Chain A
Amino acid sequence: MSSVPFAYNARARRYRNIETGRFVSVKVVRAAVDTVIGVEAVKLKALAFKLNKGEINFAEWQLQSMAQIKALHVSMGLAANGGLKNATPSDLGYIGSLVKEQYKFFRNMVKDIRQGKQSLDGSLLARVGLYAQASRGTYEKAVERAAKAAGALESKSELGIADHCAQCVSEAQRGWVAIGSLIPIGERTCLQNCHCMIVYK
């Protein structure tokens, strides 16, 4: 199967497969999002592995990792907003603010390395992988922002394919609730590992 052209309907907040004329389900888009995150997590870990081995220096690792984090979070923000041609300057400003949040977390991790609180071992690989997983939160936040802008009033948390934390289960059991009242993806007990998704109406 090769790549097909898509259109994005801002009112429906859905992608349409131009070949079939059908809307693409939000779950299918989210599955593609999860695939991209998985691929990029491996790349971020590979960079940290190079640092651990002394194949790149701190500055190279920082700059390359930050560039990759930015590219991933921007791609997630674009995916949530209908792609490059549909994203507005306001959307990009919002995505940029989320990138900055990640940069601050990354700076804290570098500080931990400097202070000896973070070792250059396997635990660093696990930690950098979370920056890729955190882009799932960027996607979900951008989706919620777009839903609010389009007039959605309610949201519902749906369990993904994963081992669920108790908070994810209880949030899913709430059913449809006022938009903004669910605990955001990435801020529950399972943090960045959350595979749930939120739908809107």
Chain B
Amino acid sequence: VDKELKAKLGEPLDFTDEELDQMAEINPSDLKVAVKLWENAAPEPFKKLLEATVEKDV
């Protein structure tokens, strides 16, 4: 990496195991983002697959 680019990029962040633990926890907003990601990227007719209802056995 040339000096100019290196200065522009700055230093990478260094995360501890504990920080990664926290960051990997799944909260409600992560679920919304994941469902949206699927909806945007999945082919028709499966864009709503992750919004499937619960089917009760009869």
Contact = CB atoms under 8 A, between A and B. Distances in A.
Interface of A: 1-11, 15-18, 29, 31-32, 35-36, 39-40, 51, 54, 57-59, 62-63, 66-67, 70-72, 74-75, 78-79, 82-86, 92-93, 95-97, 99-100, 103-104, 107, 110, 113-114, 120
B48 A36 contact: no
Given A70-B30, A82-B52, 12 more contacts: A1-B45, A2-B45, A10-B54, A17-B45, A54-B9, A57-B9, A58-B13, A70-B34, A72-B34, A72-B37, A96-B24, A99-B26
10 contacts: A15-B49, A32-B43, A35-B42, A57-B9, A58-B10, A59-B11, A71-B33, A74-B26, A83-B51, A114-B12
A39 B41 contact: yes
Contact of A5 (B9, B24, B34, B53): B53
Nearest to A69: B24
Contact of A84 (B5, B41, B50): B50
Report the 6 A-B pairs with minimum CB-CB distance, sorted nearest first: A100-B24, A74-B34, A39-B41, A83-B52, A7-B55, A75-B34
Given A70-B24, A92-B26, A79 B49 contact: yes
Nearest to B49: A6
Contact of A107 (B15, B38, B44): B15
Given A5-B48, A29-B49, A40-B41, A100 B35 contact: no
B57 to A, nearest CB: 6
Given A3-B44, A75-B37, A99-B26, A107 B54 contact: no
Nearest to B1: A120
